A = this chain, B = another copy of it.
Amino acid sequence: MTDPDASAPLASPPAPAVRGRRPRLSDVAARAGVSAGLVSLVLRHQPGPSEQTRARVFEAARELGYRADRTASLLARRRSQHLGVVMDVRNTFHAELVAEMDAAATRRGYDLVLSTLTPTRDERTATENLLDFRCEGLILIGPEDRAGWLTSLGQELPVVSVGRRLKSDSVDVVRAADDLGVAQAVAHLANLGHRDIAFVDGGRGTIASDRRRGYRQAMRGHGLAERIRVIPGDHTEEAGIRAAPELLNSHATAVVASNDRSAVGLLDRLARLGTEVPASMSVVGYDDSMLARLGHVDLTSVSQDAPRQAEEAVALLAERLDHGRTEPREVLLPPRLVIRSTTAPPRPISTTS
């Protein structure tokens, strides 16, 4: 009497509706003997429906193996609760950020939609793809945006740039204070007793120049202005390999590399040249990448604190979307030095071996 509907097969309890198409909201409604609107309310845990109705609806939904069609929900709902992320899936640091962002988004009731850069899909295409999905806000990891279109995009919806400085009055930014990070590395080495601390440069580029500047300032801060020594390089292993001989020719007892890859190249060449690390040379990298963490590398490095950057990026979007903030913000995070086994006090005899 309560369920005169005989159309549903008497399948075993948890059996999904195998026959025909996937069940719709109206199927659940029919089965529970209520209207579609009510089912919608119940399944989204909205207030209103009576306790008895809730039970009936849940039961019916379970029996049918009902699963809401997100596409339809999105279309009908005002908000999509989607945040888009543009990333390079092949970049391990991006990957780490995304994993954390996902958690942060979920915590706030948002869902992440990923769009990755590929040889055939540039930043702009990837971004537009996300817009097609009705994302309410966008996070771009290390965006290049030479053309400045990000700014105009920022006027249409909340946009956050992660990891890269950006002059724009509409885009929020989250990044690590690279100069501070290098300063920490220098301070660590200075505290160990090093005075001749060299730097393997990262070439031109926003990030590299921030780090170089950080090195210079830190050295001056420690009264080591005259011992500043910047060895040319870039952000590849090759750079570190090339830098090794020049490094050994200098008086340096310690070195900070502009990134981990360069530091690893350096370590490798030093080993081949018979220089012991950290006994004869302390080495600090930058990025705290997987590379640095590899057991046999175990490189002291500066961490960019991906979890925190991810959290802040999502928080910035949430602020705009949920609390109506409109003026742009920039979040500068302090990097953190992770001390591993490539740094130690200099040899007692300060003359190079």
Binding site for B on A (CB under 8 A): 16, 18, 67-72, 74-75, 80, 89-92, 95-96, 98-99, 102-103, 106, 111, 113-114, 116, 118-121, 128-129, 131-134, 152, 155-156, 236-238, 241, 264-265, 268-269, 271, 294-296
Please give the distance in Å from A243's CB to the nearest CB on chain B: 13
Complex: chain B residue closest to A70, CB-CB: B132
B118, B120, B269: the one within 8 Å of A296 (CB): B269
A70 to B134, CA, bound (A): 8
Could you name 14 residue pairs across A and B whose Cβ atoms are closer than 8 Å? Answer: A67-B131, A69-B134, A70-B134, A71-B74, A71-B75, A71-B80, A91-B95, A92-B92, A99-B116, A102-B116, A102-B118, A111-B129, A264-B296, A265-B295
Closest 3 CB pairs of A and B: A70-B132, A268-B296, A114-B114
CB of A108, distance to nearest CB on chain B (Å): 13
Given contacts A68-B132, A265-B295, list 14 more A-B pairs with CB under 8 A. A69-B134, A71-B80, A89-B114, A90-B99, A92-B95, A98-B116, A102-B120, A103-B119, A106-B120, A236-B295, A237-B295, A237-B296, A241-B295, A241-B296
Residue of B nearest to A237 (CB): B295
A238: chain B residues within 8 A (beta carbon): 295
Question: What is the copy number of this chain in the assembly?
Answer: 2
Contact, CB under 8 Å: A90 / B92: yes
Cα(A75)–Cα(B24), bound, Å: 13
Contact A99 B118 (CB under 8 A): yes
Enumerate chain B residues within 8 angstroms of A113, measured Cβ to Cβ: 113
A85 to B247, CA, bound (A): 47
Q: Which residues of B contact A294 (CB under 8 A)?
A: 237, 264
Choose from B69, B80, B96, B134 the contact partner of A132 (Cβ within 8 Å): B69
Contacts of A72 in B (CB 8 A): 75
* Chain B: CB-nearest residue to A296: B268
Contact pick for A95, options B71, B95, B296, CB 8 Å:
B95
Instruction: Report B-chain residues with C-beta under 8 Å of the C-beta of A121.
Output: 102, 106
- Are B98's CB and A134's CB within 8 A? no
Known: A70-B133, A134-B70, A296-B268. A99 touches B89 (CB 8 A): yes
Q: Which residues of B contact A129 (CB under 8 A)?
A: 111
- In the complex, chain B residues whose CB is within 8 Å of the CB of A268: 296
Contact (Cβ within 8 A) A95 B89: yes
The chain B residue sitting closest to A152, CB to CB, is: B16
